Amino acid sequence: MTVNIKLPNNISYDIIINKLNSIKFDKKTVIVTNCTISSLHLNYIKKYLDIKNLSIVTLLDGEEYKNMQSIDTILNHCFEHKLNRSSLIIAFGGGVIGDMAGFAASIYQRGIDFIQIPTTLLSQVDASVGGKTGVNNKYGKNLIGAFHQPSAVYIDPFFLSTLPKREFSSGVSEIIKMAITFDKDFFIWLENNILDNEKNIKYAILKSVQIKANVVNTDEKEKGIRAVLNYGHTFAHVIENETNYKTYLHGEAVGIGMLIANNLSIKIGLMNKKEALRVKKLLESYNIPTSYIIKNTETFYEHFFLDKKSLDSKIKFILAKGLGDYTIKDNLKKEDIISVLKDFS
């Protein structure tokens, strides 16, 4: 199954959802991965890589290593191995590796090609598609980066067989996000089909990638509709920050964030309680946490303004409109937001 990205600037690439097939490349190539993925799956992908001049850079595993130091490690490796403008970087791992390998590719000698071989569900359905690359710094997540589209994305569900359950569910949360905001039929399908077998997982990946590709094709640089992919994220980022990125995986925080957003939707008449309950039930069926205690609603509210998406001091809320549709609001009353936050305190 193949989904195509076709951007107005003539950039086009395929996202191939299938068991890996031979990937042939004549020029120098560097695989960027981490120690966990390398020990689990490097031998598996090597079988499919028909590349004469291949080297590997293995980073430490963790969001805390998604920083400029790791980018320096990748770039130094590329210089030491004399990569040139026609060389290739392969991102082999989850979203952390994908974002970093892509960013390194975007700046090495002003930009070289890279391909994505995502190994987590979250990176297969979201992070590997669309060309957002970057790293974190002390001011926040993903604040340094570039839009740099991969030249191909190879999604092989085989990798998911070793993924810890919690990580899998974290990816499911992003799948549910796509369904709630863009596709009611897909949401209903998710309610009626458990993602516990290859057929269903492949279908859910395909639907999510199709939704994301449609969004990216119309708004690569997030001037409009692409922001909808951040549904639940405004709240999730505060939750992740308040808990020092230690308590919740990203998708878990997004799950809670979607529920807070849905209460806001209910408050202003965009969603009914029954619909919100269906979302909660679906998240709970994958053991995605659905409760969070906000200790101080004012502090939580102030945190919104630290998010890079609200640097202009207006907070943009992505809200679900029923199931399968969305709206973007930047003029909500503070008292409405605080009142919803109080539901969670």
Task: Give catalytic residue positions.
Answer: 110, 132, 174, 212, 222, 226, 230, 233, 237, 250
- Residue 61 as a binder of ligand NAD (CB under 6 A): the answer is yes
Beta-bridged to residue 335, according to DSSP, are none
Cβ(121)–Cβ(94) below 8 Å:
no
Give me the long-range contacts of 262-267 (CB less than 8 A, separation at least 24): 262/320, 263/340, 263/343, 263/344, 264/317, 264/319, 264/332, 264/336, 264/337, 264/340, 265/319, 265/320, 265/321, 267/336, 267/339, 267/340
Q: Is 229 in the site for ligand GLY (CB under 6 A)?
A: yes
**Binding segment (CB under 6 A) for ligand NAD, from list 18-26, 88-96, 188-196, 214-222:** 88-96
> Of 31, 77, 106, 126, which one interacts with ligand GLY (CB under 6 A)?
126
Q: Looking at beta carbons only, is 142 or 285 nearer to ligand GLY? A: 142
| Residue 81 contact, options ligand GLY, ligand NAD, none, Cβ 5-8 Å cut-off depending on partner type | none
Give the angle 99-103-106 at the CA atoms, nearest 5°. 145
Task: Out of 7, 16, 20, 40, point to the residue binding ligand NAD (CB under 6 A).
Answer: 40
* Residue 219 Cβ vs ligand NAD, minimum distance, rounded to whole Å: 13
Q: Are 233 and 180 in contact (CB under 8 A)?
A: no
Nearest-approach distance from CB 331 to ligand NAD, in angstroms: 27
Cα torsion at 175, 177, 182, 188 (round to 10°)?
70
Which string of x and - marks every residue 187-226 that binds ligand GLY (by CB under 6 A)? Answer: -----------------------------------x---x
Neighbours of 26 (CB within 10 A): 11
CB of 230 to ligand GLY, least distance (A): 6
Work out which of 3, 77, 95, 288 binds ligand NAD, going by CB under 6 A.
Answer: 95
Contact pick of 122, 205, 213, 253 for ligand NAD (by CB under 6 A):
122
Closest to ligand GLY by CB, 78 or 235: 235
Choose one: 124-132, 136-144, 280-288, 294-302; the region binding ligand GLY (CB under 6 A): 124-132
DSSP states of 86-127 as a string? T-EEEEEESHHHHHHHHHHHHHGGG--EEEEEE-SHHIIIII
Interface with ligand NAD includes 304 (CB under 6 A)?
A: no
Indicate the residue among 141 and 226 with the shorter CB distance to ligand GLY: 226
Does residue number 130 form part of the binding site for ligand GLY (CB under 6 A)? yes
> β-strands 326-329, 317-320: how paired?
antiparallel
What is the spatial distance between Cα 285 and Cα 191, in angstroms, rounded to a whole number?
Answer: 9
Q: Which of residues 249-268 bind ligand NAD (CB under 6 A)?
A: 250
Phi, psi of 182, rounded to the nearest 5 degrees: -125, -20
Place of tokens 């994305």: 153
